[in-house]
Structure 1
């Protein structure tokens, strides 16, 4: 099973994703770790990425997920995946389930005010909400739920298998 935790910056993709991966006994991947240095520098300067900036990054993610899926492995990926086209690109050739972590802009902004991301400034939150194309085929999870409740809800909805040995391509 490949699960992609999606949503705007600060919604909890990494936190919930890591907890879910731990529960499932599979690797956790953070899409932020796959960005080329040019994208990181652009975001660090407060400039939103363009689609042209994102395509090679999304292709890297899709390649990674296809390799895991082809090997019969499981993984949880944290990735904003804000647009339908991005989700389609990531999922190409793999059996992927999307989990959309949902919170209002004020709630997420409050989280970002107390968080220091290595390159994603809080000033980009509004552009992420503007870009977001909410999926109609994802599992929606309320970010105001406690972490354990979010993971429980995801596992119940996706009929998660019991924890297995971690596999990674």
Structure 2
């Protein structure tokens, strides 16, 4: 863990050096550095500061926070998603939320494809290993489906993604 943090500090300092002592808003860099520290534990990789996937996630998550969409009326009145138009921005919220989960699913699918029970890289691999053990034992368990998409609540992975935001 310490090595991952130190590695991220090096990336952070490299980005700071690019400003050559000129004033700049450091918040986005700090957010990405913290988010990358968490991402290495959860996803097993860090996102480059110029990574388009990372930038899209940050844009989507910032939109959730800035627009108060987390308190969207669709949470209280799910029927709103079936009305024509986009009352209260509910359909945009659902599209953006679905895109966040789509990106998470892509990362989990990559893990499934490269999973090696002798080389546990991160949180997702831990979940997959536990799922495999319980399936082999024939146990009834809750380690089913996709670890990141288990529910629509802001679980561990979503909190990690929120750490990537500029807020």
Query: TM-score range with shorter-chain normalisation?
Result: under 0.3
Question: When you count strand as a share of all residues, which structure comes out higher?
Answer: 1
Given the two structures, how large is their TM-score scaled by the length of structure 1? Answer: 0.24
Higher Cα Rg, which structure: 2
Higher relative contact order (CA 8 A, sep 6+): 1
Structure richer in helix, relative to its length = 2
TM-score, with structure 2 as normaliser: 0.24
